[in-house]
């Protein structure tokens, strides 16, 4: 049954016994027992949304981290919203091509992007990509994930220090791949190299699975990506992790040291967020945020996140918007330290 987000007027008399009614209710005016919580509006207007399918653009290749995350959400979102939420992969530009397409679409809530903080905050600061975070509507954050640096199991590098020593002995000889130029995984290793006084050779690759295939094939020395991307290759023993971000060791990889304990205290993580065009109706943005939050409470969605090793860390539209300036200032400072920005 189709469920729509509704803003309902609550009179002063009714407010004595009722708080707020449910949004994303059924076709009648009765609040749904499940689904998205309601927002209230002093004008009492009905928000007839959604009325058509929603496109969720993944700005990376199918099968990668962002794609898997999107697909873990869309089935339940489709059920809850009563319309199809369709994943569309639009690669290129280190995650900016698809994001730009979404945030420059009509601001009606029917075209969104799910992207990383690198494509959302960092790349637009460096390159002209057709948007900045200030020209978007933040919907929500769905997961915040550590970054790991890995080498092939056959690699001679047993530790991060081994990799650093090799780069020091032959500057530019050690090649690592990240999901994109100036992505958070790229900046992490660049910052480590700067602190260690070594020069890495960086090669961006928008497809994390392809990067790991290159690694296992012996074509590159290391890969810096989101920790869950390494799940299958660490399980089968084809990849060895050298370090992971975080204040403490990751419980899934208790034998892998943190960058922090190795002396490289870089406050890095990758978070995945859903964003839309600027000037969206705030009620539509809130409806979508609430719908994602409700979907993430579903047991099947939670099971999918667990199997993918994605921490569930939902942040609402309001809280996400409040967080962005601080995150932006952090990455801007790092880019200046690395000489990427003046």
pTM for the model stands at 0.73
Delimit the CATH 3.40.190.150 region(s) of the chain: 54-145+270-337
Q: Would you tell me how many other CB atoms lie within 10 Å of the CB of residue 243? A: 25
Predicted confidence at residue 33, as pLDDT, reads 33
Rounded to an integer, the average pLDDT of 266-286 is: 93
How far is residue 189's CA from residue 19's CA, in Å, rounded to a whole number? 50
Distance between CA atoms of residues 181 and 127, nearest Å: 11
The average pLDDT across 42-55 equals 80
Q: Which residues of 209-226 are buried (b: 16+ CB within 10 A; e: fewer)?
A: bebbebbbeeebbbbbbb
Query: Three-class SS of residue 220?
Result: coil
Span 151-158, average pLDDT: 98
3-state secondary structure of 164: helix
User: b/e map of 281-305 (b: 16 or more CB within 10 Å)?
Assistant: eebbbbbbbbbbbbbbebeebeebb
Higher pLDDT, 12 or 342: 342
- pLDDT reported for residue 267: 77
What's the order of all strands across the beta sheet hosting 111-116?
85-89, 54-58, 111-116, 270-277, 136-145
**pLDDT above 80 (res 14):** no
Select the CATH number that applies to the domain covering 147-244 from these four: 3.50.50.60, 3.30.70.330, 3.40.190.10, 1.20.810.10.
Answer: 3.40.190.10
Q: Report residue 196 as tokens.
A: 């260690």
Q: In the Cβ-directed half-sphere of 255, how many Cα atoms lie within 13 Å? A: 5
For residue 334, name the pLDDT band (cuts at 50, 70, 90): confident
Of 11 and 80, the one with more pLDDT: 80
Q: Above 60 in pLDDT, residue 17?
A: no
Lowest mean pLDDT across 164-173, 194-203, 295-304, 306-315: 306-315
- C-alpha span between 169 and 185 (Å, rounded): 24
Q: Which CATH number fits domain 54-145+270-337: 3.30.70.3450, 3.40.50.10320, 3.40.190.150, 3.40.50.150?
A: 3.40.190.150
Q: Mean of the pLDDT values across residues 193-201? A: 93
Indicate where the chain has its CATH 3.40.190.10 domain(s): 147-244
What number is the average pLDDT over the span 27-47?
44
Q: Percent of the chain having pLDDT more than 90?
A: 63
User: Pairing mode, if any, of strands 85-89 and 239-244?
Assistant: unpaired
Q: How confident is the model at residue 97 (pLDDT cuts 50, 70, 90)?
A: very high
For 66: left if phi > 0, alpha if psi spans -120 to 50, otherwise beta; the answer is alpha
Per the rule left: phi > 0, alpha: psi between -120 and 50, beta: everything else, 148 is: beta
State yes or no: pLDDT of 45 exceeds 70.
no
Per-residue confidence band for 5, with pLDDT thresholds at 50, 70 and 90: low
Q: Which pLDDT value is given to residue 22?
A: 36
pLDDT digits (tens, 9 = 90+) for 207-252: 788 899 999 999 999 999 989 889 999 999 999 999 999 989 999 9
């Amino acid at each position: 049954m189709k469920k729509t987000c509704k803003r309902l007027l609550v009179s002063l008399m009714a407010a004595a016994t009722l708080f707020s009614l449910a949004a994303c209710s059924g076709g009648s005016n009765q609040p749904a027992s499940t689904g998205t919580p309601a927002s209230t509006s002093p004008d009492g207007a009905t928000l007839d949304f959604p009325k058509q399918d929603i496109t969720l653009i993944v700005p990376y290749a199918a099968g990668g981290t962002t794609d898997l995350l999107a697909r873990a959400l869309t089935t339940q979102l489709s059920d809850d919203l009563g319309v199809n939420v369709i994943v569309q992969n639009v690669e290129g530009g280190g995650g900016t091509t698809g994001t730009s397409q979404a945030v420059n679409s009509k601001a009606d809530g029917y075209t969104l992007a799910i992207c990383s903080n690198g494509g959302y905050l960092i790349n637009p600061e460096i390159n002209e990509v057709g948007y900045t975070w200030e020209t978007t509507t933040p919907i929500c954050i769905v997961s915040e994930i550590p970054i790991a640096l890995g080498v092939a199991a056959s690699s001679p590098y047993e530790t991060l220090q081994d990799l650093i020593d090799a780069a020091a002995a032959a500057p530019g000889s050690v090649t690592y791949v990240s999901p994109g130029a100036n992505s958070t995984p790229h900046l992490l290793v660049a910052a480590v190299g700067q602190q260690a006084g070594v020069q890495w050779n960086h090669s961006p690759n928008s497809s994390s699975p392809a990067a790991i295939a290159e690694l296992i094939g012996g074509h590159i020395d290391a890969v810096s990506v989101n920790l869950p991307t390494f799940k299958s290759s660490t399980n089968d023993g084809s990849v060895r992790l050298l370090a992971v971000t975080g204040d403490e060791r990751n419980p899934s990889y208790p034998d892998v040291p943190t960058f922090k304990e190795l002396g490289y205290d870089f406050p890095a993580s990758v978070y995945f967020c859903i964003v839309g065009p600027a000037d969206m109706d705030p009620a539509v943005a809130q409806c979508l945020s609430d719908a994602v939050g409700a979907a993430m409470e579903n047991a099947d969605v939670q099971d999918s996140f667990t199997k993918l090793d994605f921490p569930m860390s939902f942040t609402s539209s309001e809280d996400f918007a409040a967080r962005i300036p601080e995150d932006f200032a952090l990455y801007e400072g790092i880019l200046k330290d690395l000489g990427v920005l003046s």
